[in-house]
Amino acid sequence: MTRQIRYQEIADAIRQLARSRPAGSLLPSESDLSAQFGASRVTIRKALDLVREDGLIAARQGFGWFVATEPVRQSLEQLGTIEAQLASDGRSNERRVLEFAFVEPPARVAALLGPDTVLRVKRVNLADGEPFAVVTVWCPADLGRKLSRDDVEQRSFHELLGVQLRGATQTIGADAASGADAQLLRVPAGAPLLTCQRVTTDIDGRPVLVSEHLFPAHRTEFVVELPSAEPSINPTGLRLVE
């Protein structure tokens, strides 16, 4: 009988572990696996690479290794919700409201919605049972007082506000996960996040929603449809920040 090489034995165990966990969930770190199996980091890396070749796991800088998953993609060419896009792809989605309160707006929100009290809603979004976004939304109190916690857990603000919307401006950036948000997204503190700052306006151009979306970078992608235009090596809307 052919003796199985040590890294192949470890690869078999990692395959079992990956198959037992939800797509997108993180695996133990290489150092933890090294301690668990009593093997060198070199041996652990060879085992992980072997399982990656099967398509069961993947790795991203800042995250480590995770169970391979189809990314959550959000198309940015029109105003809509990512939940609707998930539903059209046949994926289950869920919102869990963490905070629903009328508060004084922070300065950046007050600059857009005014200094008066606003409704602040914070939630975590899940796809197929795994968190993929932490979202905080602010809206003027006169619109927010028509809503309930159950309303915003079941339906989008776009449907609930009862005003005609003109569109939104989205600013995409990057950040590192803080302790609290890292726990909600089930990623390590300091892991890279994609961020989306959105300002939605009504038909008269008045801001009616300000929102902040935090996405784990290993699970999400933004897709933009670009119209035919002068060729350029720079992405449309690229802006340098200090």
Domains along the sequence of the chain with CATH: 6-67 (1.10.10.10), 72-223 (3.40.1410.10)
Q: Which of 71, 72, 56 is nearest to 20 (CA)?
A: 56
Cross-strand bridge partners of residue 212: 136, 197
Q: DSSP secondary-structure letter at 76?
A: -
Query: What is the distance between the alpha carbons of residues 201 and 129, in angstroms, rounded to a whole number?
Result: 31
pLDDT in tens, the chain (242 residues): 345 688 899 999 999 998 888 777 788 889 999 999 999 999 999 999 989 888 888 887 766 888 887 666 555 555 556 666 666 667 778 899 999 999 999 999 999 999 999 999 999 998 888 888 999 999 999 999 999 999 999 888 888 888 888 888 888 888 888 889 999 998 888 888 888 898 999 999 999 999 999 998 877 777 777 666 555 555 666 555 55
Strands 118-127 and 57-60: unpaired
Residue 25 falls in which region: left (phi positive, over 0), alpha (psi -120 to 50) or beta:
beta
- H/E element holding 186? none
Q: Report the C-alpha gap between 75 and 85 in whole angstroms.
A: 8
Q: What are phi and psi of 145, to 5 degrees?
A: -70, -15
Token reading at 242: 């200090």
Rounded-to-integer distance, Cα 198 and Cα 200, Å: 6
Q: State the Cα–Cα distance between residues 226 and 234, nearest whole angstrom.
A: 12
